[in-house]
Amino acid sequence: MRQMLMAAVAAAGLLSLSVTVARAGSVELSGVHVCCPQCETLAKKILAKVDGVSEAAADKGKKTVSFTAKDEKTAVAGVKALADGGYFGAATLDGKELKVELATPKAGGAKAAEVTVKGVHVCCGQCKTALGKLFPDAKIEYGKGDDVKAFEIKIVGKDLDKATIVETLRKGGFNGTIE
């Protein structure tokens, strides 16, 4: 009898541990460039493609994107999917900082007269205006977009630094990748 009681207690302990590890959490990205209903719709469309994500929402007034993730791995996958779609913000999981590694060029590289950035969220004229304000001394050329309006943009200017460009995009709530 005592052995059965000990086995039941051990099983309950293991069950509670697995529930703790795999519990759902609330994810929020703040400071994201969300300027119009199309930005909101596209962020939700991106998250709809991530298995284990539910309750996706975007709020242009608060500049946030939020969703529920089935676990931390899914939370990271959701944030990465948004970054791949050209959105960027400070991420939290249940109110605590969520660290997500994103590709970032090394600072201090060679300067260039033009830099191409892929996967930047640009769905409307307001997005283009915001990007122009981020790079007031440069010209921005827009290439083709995909099904979530993540465009390839070319920034043309003087002494452009790839790391600074990505940092500037992210401060403005955008993301993109430079090869």
Order of strands across the sheet that contains 112-121: 112-121, 150-160, 139-145
Structure confidence at residue 110 (pLDDT): 83
pLDDT for the residue numbered 18: 40
- The dotted CATH code for 112-171 is 3.30.70
| 31: exposed, middle or buried (Cβ count in 10 Å: 0-12, 13-18, 19+) | middle
pLDDT of 116 > 70? The answer is yes
d(CA 118, CA 36): 21
Question: pLDDT per residue over 64-93, tens digit each?
Answer: 999 999 999 999 999 999 999 999 999 999
**CATH architecture, range 24-97:** 2-Layer Sandwich (3.30)
Q: Name the average pLDDT for the chain.
A: 87
What are the extents of the domains in the chain? 24-97, 112-171
Asked whether residue 38 carries a pLDDT value surpassing 50, the answer given is yes
112-171 matches 24-97 in CATH topology = yes
Q: Other CB atoms closer than 10 Å to residue 71's CB: what's the count?
A: 15
- List, for residues 141-179, the tens digit of each pLDDT value: 998 776 666 789 999 999 999 999 999 999 999 999 997
Handedness of CA 154, 156, 161, 167 (dihedral sign): negative
CB atoms closer than 10 angstroms to residue 177: 18
Per cent of the chain over pLDDT 70 is 85
